[in-house]
Structure 1
Amino acid sequence: MSLGTTVRLPLSYQRRPHVQIQETIFSAFEVKDAYVFPPQTPLDFFLAVGLGIGRTDSPQVRCRKSISNERTFSTTEDGALLYKRLAELAEMLSMDMQKEGLCGRTLTLKLKTASFEVRTRAVTLQSYISSSEDILKHASKLLKAELPISVRLIGLRVSQFNGEKSGATLDPTQKTITNFINSGDTKGNYNSFADVTDHDFISDTETDLSIDSRQKFQHDWTYPFDDNHSLDVDQRSCSVRKNDGEEEVQTFGKDASISYCSGGTEVLGSTFSSSSGQFEDINVNDGSNLLEDERLNSSFQEKTMLWLNDYKCSLCGIEMPPSFVEERLEHSDYHLAEKLQKEESRTHQRTSVLSQRMSSVGVGVGRELSNPPLDGISNLRFSNHSDLLLVSSWDKSVRLYDATANILRSQFLHSGPVLDCCFHDDSSGFSASSDNTVRRLVFSSNKEDILGTHDAPVRCLDYSYAAGQLVTGSWDKTIKCWDPRGASGQHHTLVGTYPQPERVYSLSLVGHRLVVATAGRHVNVYDLRNMSQPEQRRESSLKYQTRCVRCYPNGTGYALSSVEGRVAMEFFDLSEPSQAKKYAFKCHRKSEAGRDIVYPVNAMAFHPIYGTFATGGCDGYVNVWDGSNKKRLYQYSKYPSSIAALSFSRDGRLLAVASSYTFEDGPKPHEQDAIYVRSVNEIEVKPKPKVYANPPA
C-alpha cells in the first residue's frame, strides 16, 4: 500500500448507508484492501477490538408476571349489565391464557368509577385456574361485594402463574443477586438511609399510620419526611404461615429487605431486633420518630401488611411490582378497611383521630346486636339516660338491649305485632300494639300491664318529660294522652282523647309541642298545655304520603319525610321571614336507564348535640344532613335491607340502625332483620362552617 492511493470499494458496498464517509476515513489512513473486512461491520467494531473491549450486554429474558383484559364503556349502575361485561372479559382473558399456556392463582378485579376513582380487589385461590367459568365465578364474588356502584371501566388480571410456561421462579421468595445488592450494609448497620432508592416504598401524602396494641393514629396533611425510605431488617428470609386463623410473618437469618405498608403508609426510621423480636426506633433528621417510644409487641406483626421482597403481599399473596403505585395504594387500603371493620366493636379504645380515619375510609355498617327480632322491626329508641336500647317488632315482642355490652336484658311478648315503643326511664317503658293496647313495661321485674286501649291498632307513641304524659296515636283517627303515674287502667290514666282528620301515622314531641302527621298529608301542631284544639292545622308541602315526622331539637320546627324520597323542613313560626326559610329536597333515589328510582324515607333521627339529622330509606342507605346549610355531610355503607328505624344515643356517640325489610315491594325473599349500633364520629355529624368570599378590595 502506497501513500496517495485511491481506495475503490465494491459497488455493493458503496450502496450501503454512510459508505462514502467510511471510504473517506479509510482513504485518510491509506487503507487499500478494505474488501478483506466484513462489509457490514461498522467502524466502532474495529475500534472496540483494538481497545480490547468485548461483548458486555446480557441476553434479555422477559418473564410474564400477569395477563389482563379491561374494557371502558358508558357509566352505568345496572348490575346485570356489569355482570355481562364481566362475563365477556372472563371469556377473553381465558382465551388469552390458553393461547399462552398459562394458569394463575391470583385474580384481580379493577373498577373505575364515574368519578374516575380506581378500585382493585384481589383474591388468591388454592388452585390454579384458566377457564372462563372459574374466572367468572371468583370475579363475580369480588364484583358483588362492591355493588351498588357506578362504573365506567372493568378489568380482570390473573397473576402468580404456575411457572411451567411462564419461566418464572417457582419459589417467589428465593433470593437473587438483586436482593443482596439492594440490602445495603451487610453488617447490619442501618442507621444511614443514603443508599436507599426512592421506589422501595410507596408514599402516602395524606396520613401517617402507626398501629400497636393501643391503636395509635397520627393524622396529618403532610408526610413527616420528604424522601421515601426502605426498612432494612436484620434477617435473612421471610415466610408466612397461618396461626389461629391469622397470618403471621416469621423471619430468620440476615440480609433480607422488607417493605412495611399499612393503608399505603410506611414505617420509617425503624429496625428489627432479632434478639427481642420487636421493632426499635431510630432518630432521623431532628430525632422525630414515627413509632411510639414503647416497643411493639408480636401482635403488631400478625396484623400488619408486609410487601415480601418488595412485591408480594403477606396477607393475600398478590404480587405487585413497585411501579404499580396506584394499585399498591388501593390494595393497602383494602386490607386496612378489613382490619378496621373487624375492630369497630372496640371503638371506645381508639382515639378520636382514629375515629376520623375510620370515617374517612367509610367502611362497615356497625356492630350487629345478638338475638335480633324474628320479624320486621317497627321502631327502636335509645334511653335519655343511658345506652339502653328498646326495640319493637312485628314478631309480637319488645326487646331491651344494653347496646354497649351487646346484651339482651329483657323481652316482653304481646298478643299482636308491636308497632312502636319508647322509654319512661331506665326502669320502665311503653309499647303500642296492633291489638289496640298501650302497655307499660317494667324492666327490672319483666312485668307489664295495660295502660289503656284504642279502638284500632296503636301506630305510634312518645313520652313528654315536660308534661309528664304519654301521647299515643292510632288508626282509629284519635290522639290520646295518658298519665302513667296513676294506677293501671284506662279510667285512671286517660287524660284526654283528641280526634284527628285521618289515621295517625307518626308523631313527635319537643318540649310542650306535639306534631301529628296523618293520612291524607294532614299535619296538626298542638300545645300539650292546651289540647282543646290544634295550634296550627297544616297540609304537608310534600306531594305524597307522609312517612315520618321529627321535631327539631331546638324546638323551632319539624321535618317530614314521604314515600316519594323527599324530606321537607318546616318551621313553627308563621311569620313571613321564617316561612321563607322552609324548603324540601330529594334523597334516597338513584337514576337508572334514564329514569329515577325513588325509595320511601322510612326513618329520621336528629343528633342531640349538633342538630344535624340522619335519614334512612328503603334503598338501604343512611345519610346525614346539615339542614341549616342544606348539604349532605355523610353517607354510610349500604345496609343489607331497608332502613326501618334510626335513633341517636343521648350523647350522640352511637347510632342505632334497624335493617329490616318493610315490604315496600310486597312479599319476597329478603335479608334477615338485624340491628346495628355504630360509633358516630364528629366529622360525620358536625356541621361544617360556612366559607364566605373575601370582600372586594
Structure 2
Amino acid sequence: MSFLGNTSSTSNTSSAATGQELLNDITINNPPEDSIEDLSFSPQQDLLAVASWDKKVRIYEIDPNTGNNQGKALYEHNAPVFSSRWSLDGTKVISGGADNQVKIFDLASQQQQQIGQHDAPVRSVRYVECGPTNTPVVASGSWDKTLKYWDMRTPNPVSTINLPERCYSMDASQKLLVVGCADRHISIIDLNNPQQIFKTSQSPLKWQTRVISCYPQANGFAIGSIEGRCAIQYITESEQKKFGFSFKCHRKSGPTTNSRTSSAGESQAYPVNAISFHPIFGTFSTAGSDGTFCFWDKDAKQRLKSFPELPGTISATAFNKNGSIFAYAVSYDWSLGYMGNRPDYPNFIKLHAIKEAEIKQKNKR
C-alpha cells in the first residue's frame, strides 16, 4: 500500500515529465534549519535519518500507508553534519561531520556517543561488515585523506587506510566499499580484506567526483560528477569492458547563469549530487543542481522516467527498505559557493510514492 494509491500500477508512464508527478508528494514536517546533506532510510522500518548543516541529525518516523510523518529523535554535532547512516539492524544511527567526529546514536536509549575522530572533516560514514566473520564496524572517510574503521567499543580505530586524496564520497554494498577522492581518484576495497585497498583507478569522467553509489549486487558502482555526467563502472575488467559506459544527465540547453559556464548554444551542465539504487529492481535515480531527478535502467542503458523541475537544487535522495518511497531534499548544495546561498533558499524534504511503472525495468524489446 502507498500514500499515492497502488504501487503496482503497470500503466505505461512515458519517460517525459508531465508536471503532475510530484503533486501528491508528502512534505516532511519540521525539516532542518539549514542545508540538507544526507538522507538515509533504516533497513528495518520506515525511519528516515537526515544530516544537516544546522549541526543536527534528525530521525523521522513515516507511515508508509499515508505518508504522515513526525520527528522521533534528534542529536547534535559541534559543526555541520555531512553524513548519516543506519546500522544493519536499524537500532543505531552513525554520523560524521565538520567537527571531525564520528558519532553513534542509540535509538532505544536516545543516547549518543563519539566513537571516532579524524584530523579534518568527516565526509562520509558507512556501517559495514568485515572479514569472513562479518564483524560490524563503522567506516569513515575524511578530508584528512584517511579511511578509518571503528568497532564502537574502543576509542582508537581498528584500522586506518591512507587514501590518495581527500574523501569526497563513499559507499558500500555487501563486501564492496568504494571511496571517491579529490583529483578523480577512486579507491576500491574488498571488505573481506578491509585493511588494504584492493584496486585504485581514475574516474572515467573528466571533472570532480561528486557522488559514488554501489550497486545492490556489489559488482560495481556509479559515479556522478560536477559536469552532469554519470559513469557506470564494474569491478572486474571483463564486466567493465562489456557493460561499462558513461552518459550525460542534468543538462539544460541554452545559456543560463546557474551552472558550469559554456558558450551560447551549448548545453549547461549541472553537478550530479545524488545517486540512489532501488533495493528491489536495481534501477537507480540521479538528482542534480538543475533541480531535477530521473530514474534509469543501467542494464538497458535507458532513462525510465524524468520528473518536473523543483524550485532549488536537489542535495540528497534515498529509497526506503522496499523501494516504495523515494525521499528527496531540495536544499542549497553549495555548488556555487557561499555566493549562491540566500536566506529564502528552499529547504525541504519530500516523499514520493513510487509507482512500479516509473522504476521497474521495461520489458526487453
TM-score of the two chains, using structure 1 as the length reference = 0.47
CA shift for structure 1 position 355: 8.6
Residue 114 of structure 2 is matched in structure 1 by: 450
CA distance in 2, matches of 1:546, 1:609: 26
1:590 aligns with 2:249: no
CA shift for structure 1 position 363: 4.1
Residue 607 of structure 1 is matched in structure 2 by: 278
1:472 aligns with 2:140: yes
CA distance in 2, matches of 1:350, 1:529: 43
Q: Which amino acid in the other structure matches residue 438 of structure 1?
A: V
Q: Which amino acid in the other structure matches residue 657 of structure 1?
A: Y
1:295-325 Cα distance to aligned partner (Å, 9 max, x none): xxxxxxxxxxxxxxxxxxxxxxxxxxxxxxx
CA shift for structure 1 position 482: 1.2
Q: Which amino acid in the other structure matches residue 112 of structure 2?
A: E
Would you say the 8 A contact 2:170–2:212 is kept in 1? Answer: yes
CA shift for structure 1 position 579: 2.0
User: Residues 557 and 357 (structure 1 numbering): CA distance in 2 closer, same or farther, change over 3 Å?
Assistant: closer
Would you say the 8 A contact 1:364–1:637 is kept in 2? Answer: no
Residue 434 of structure 1 is matched in structure 2 by: 98
CA shift for structure 1 position 349: 7.3
Q: What are the equivalent positions in structure 2 for 1:31-430 lying under 5 Å apart? A: 347-348=2-3, 350-352=5-7, 361-364=20-23, 366-404=25-63, 405-424=68-87, 425-430=89-94
| Partner SS state of residue 490, structure 1 | coil
Residue 259 of structure 2 is matched in structure 1 by: none
CA distance in 2, matches of 1:355, 1:678: 17
CA shift for structure 1 position 690: 1.8
Would you say the 8 A contact 1:658–1:675 is kept in 2? Answer: yes
Q: What are the equivalent positions in structure 2 for 1:410-559 lying under 5 Å apart? A: 410-424=73-87, 425-465=89-129, 466-484=134-152, 486=153, 489-491=154-156, 494-559=157-222
CA shift for structure 1 position 365: 6.6
Q: Which amino acid in the other structure matches residue 458 of structure 1?
A: V
Equivalent in 336, 351, 356 of residue 677 of structure 1: 351
* Long gaps (5+) in structure 2: 256-264
Would you say the 8 A contact 1:600–1:617 is kept in 2? Answer: yes
Structure scoring higher RCO (CA < 8 A, sep ≥ 6) equals 2
Would you say the 8 A contact 2:35–2:331 is kept in 1? Answer: yes
User: Residues 552 and 661 (structure 1 numbering): CA distance in 2 closer, same or farther, change over 3 Å?
Assistant: same
Would you say the 8 A contact 1:382–1:648 is kept in 2? Answer: yes
Would you say the 8 A contact 2:320–2:326 is kept in 1? Answer: yes
Would you say the 8 A contact 1:365–1:637 is kept in 2? Answer: no
CA shift for structure 1 position 393: 0.2
Q: Which amino acid in the other structure matches residue 346 of structure 2?
A: Q
Q: How many residues align?
A: 340
| Partner SS state of residue 656, structure 1 | strand
CA shift for structure 1 position 627: 0.4
Equivalent in 353, 361, 365 of residue 687 of structure 1: 361
User: Residues 531 and 351 (structure 1 numbering): CA distance in 2 closer, same or farther, change over 3 Å?
Assistant: closer
| Partner SS state of residue 230, structure 2 | strand
Residue 567 of structure 1 is matched in structure 2 by: 230
1:223-246 Cα distance to aligned partner (Å, 9 max, x none): xxxxxxxxxxxxxxxxxxxxxxxx
| Partner SS state of residue 524, structure 1 | strand
Residue 643 of structure 1 is matched in structure 2 by: 314
Q: Which amino acid in the other structure matches residue 504 of structure 1?
A: C
Residue 330 of structure 2 is matched in structure 1 by: 659
TM-score of the two chains, using structure 2 as the length reference = 0.88
CA distance in 1, matches of 2:135, 2:213: 18
Would you say the 8 A contact 2:124–2:170 is kept in 1? Answer: yes
Q: Which amino acid in the other structure matches residue 476 of structure 1?
A: D
CA distance in 1, matches of 2:22, 2:116: 45
Residue 250 of structure 1 is matched in structure 2 by: none
| Partner SS state of residue 683, structure 1 | helix
CA distance in 2, matches of 1:661, 1:496: 35
CA distance in 2, matches of 1:574, 1:437: 37
Cα RMSD between the aligned structures? Answer: 2.0
* Long gaps (5+) in structure 1: 1-345, 692-697
Equivalent in 620, 626, 647 of residue 291 of structure 2: 620
CA distance in 1, matches of 2:271, 2:4: 37
CA distance in 1, matches of 2:310, 2:11: 21
1:632 aligns with 2:303: yes
CA distance in 1, matches of 2:291, 2:119: 34
Would you say the 8 A contact 2:56–2:77 is kept in 1? Answer: yes
Q: Identical aligned pairs, as a percentage?
A: 37
Which ranges of 4 or more aligned residues in structure 1 deviate by more than 3 Å? Answer: 346-349, 351-361
CA distance in 2, matches of 1:463, 1:518: 19
More strand by share: 2
Q: Which amino acid in the other structure matches residue 123 of structure 2?
A: R
CA distance in 1, matches of 2:11, 2:364: 21
Q: Which amino acid in the other structure matches residue 5 of structure 2?
A: R
CA shift for structure 1 position 389: 0.3
CA distance in 2, matches of 1:352, 1:517: 34
More helix by share: 1
CA shift for structure 1 position 414: 1.7
Q: Which amino acid in the other structure matches residue 558 of structure 1?
A: F
| Partner SS state of residue 193, structure 2 | coil
